[in-house]
Amino acid sequence: MEMIRVLLIDDQEIFRLGLRIVLSRYQDLSLDCEAEDGPTGLTLVAERKPDVAIVDVWLPGMDGVEVAERIREISPQTRIILVSGCFDDAAINRGIELGVDGIITKTDPPTEFANFIREVHRGEFCCSPTVLESPLVRLAAPLPHVGETP
């Protein structure tokens, strides 16, 4: 079984701890490293080249979409999932335009995080149903979310 190495960049310690606990339940997922801000996360991306980076949209000093853009430059093979407890449509659209691999909310069930990571790692785009429901999100075509066939 292939181990999927995950980097989490989020300024909320409680969220990092929670996701660490959730991912520890799965033999194929490893929360390889964590960062509480963009610059530290980018350093870890350069050093570790994770398979998947989960990036909070609202980071202090450097927003998550900017961090995602820099990840694309540093480690093009790293898949990127944007996460937030409160998305705004502008951030979602910026992420989609950048070509992130997934968008999930912090309110999605814990098992969805594991499914999103696996599907994004396989090269699929995953989007939280809550995000897809936003009337202002500009999607070029309807995109599947976990459990749907494109």
8 A C-beta contact, residue 89 and residue 134: yes
Rounded CA gap, 81 and 52, in Å? 7
Q: What is the pLDDT of residue 135?
A: 57
Q: Distance (Å, rounded) from C-alpha 36 to C-alpha 22?
A: 18
Intervals of the chain under pLDDT 50: 140-142, 144-150
Looking at domain 4-132, its CATH superfamily turns out to be Response regulator (3.40.50.2300)
